[in-house]
Amino acid sequence: MPVLLLCHGDKAARDLLRAAIEARYGRLPPVLESLEVSFIGRARVKVGPVYTWVPVESSAYFVFPNRLRWDFTVKPMGMAVQRGSEAFDGETYLSMRGNSAPTVITQPEHLVGMRRRLWAIAATLLTPLSEAFVRLTTNNETCFSAENTELGDVVSLCVSPDGHKLASVEVSCHNPETQREQILKLRLAATQKAVGDLIMPSQINMGWDNKPLYELIPQSTRVNPSLADSLFRLDSRGTDVARR
């Protein structure tokens, strides 16, 4: 039985999404309501006057379509470990560095930017795009756009010409580091692997425009965990709250 799509849009775009879902998950894709993922990899950060790659560990928590938390630990060689968190509960965006109290970020461009980043990450998992509030539009033979019609946020997805695996996701949104509107790009490895109960790309590269930011290798997943509301308010450390 073919993958059931509740989204609407032109047939060519729906066919591209269906093929990408089947290339990732087969004929029985998961229904993702919430997700926890841990990664290892490296991040490109400024150390002194120059940018360099340093080891990073991170965990991400999602309740689709509108809640996200991202915890990261950066380990520059010869320097103190740096920790940080970002969270969005659909209305409030919070940021925390080290042991400081969370900062509430209220500027509209930051809120919309965080929401669009979440939509782009959801798109890499593919099945959140099959919902009824999504409209698909063909861009060309291998690329299509997915719009969250309730919010007006749009991401662009491209699949590989052979094999139909999802290759990239892009979204235009506010970059909190540069304070400019830029293109957030996610590049997905062609190879896939089972990570817990979920099939994922073996590596995900993230960056703004043509500048790389993260190279991430998924290590573990929990599909549809029960995640406390406090997790997305930065009230506690993610892993502790998520597993209570």
Burial zone of 123 (CB within 10 Å; 0-12 exposed, 13-18 middle, 19+ buried): buried
For position 243, what pLDDT does the model report?
36
Homologous superfamily of domain range 8-239: Lipoprotein localisation LolA/LolB/LppX (2.50.20.10)
Q: What is the 3-state secondary structure (H, E, C) of 42-64?
A: EEEEEECCEEEEEEEEEEEEEEC
For residue 244, name the pLDDT band (cuts at 50, 70, 90).
very low
Among 42, 94, 18, 55, CA closest to 212: 42
Residue in the block written with tokens 């400019």: 180
Q: What whole-number distance in Å separates Cα of residue 76 and Cα of residue 55?
A: 7
CA atoms of 197 and 194, how far apart (whole Å): 7
Q: What is the pLDDT of residues 10-53, one digit of tens each?
A: 999 999 999 999 999 998 899 899 999 999 999 998 777 888 89
Q: Give the per-residue pLDDT at 77.
A: 74
pLDDT tens digits along 183-239: 999 999 999 999 999 999 999 999 999 899 999 999 999 999 999 999 999 985 544
Position 137 scores a pLDDT of 97
Mean pLDDT over each residue of the chain, to the nearest integer: 90
Q: What percent of the chain has pLDDT over 90?
A: 76
| Span 145-161, average pLDDT | 94
Point out the least confidently predicted range of 21-35, 73-87, 90-104, 222-236: 73-87
DSSP letters along 99-122, please? TSPPEEE--HHHHHHHHHHHHHHH
Strand locations in the chain, DSSP E?
A: 8-9, 34-47, 50-63, 67-74, 82-88, 93-97, 103-105, 134-138, 143-148, 153-159, 166-175, 180-188, 192-195, 198-201, 204-208, 211-223
Burial (CB count within 10 angstroms: exposed 0-12, middle 13-18, buried 19+), residue 108: exposed
Residues above pLDDT 70, as percent of the chain: 94
Measured CA to CA, the distance from residue 128 to residue 74 in angstroms comes to: 30
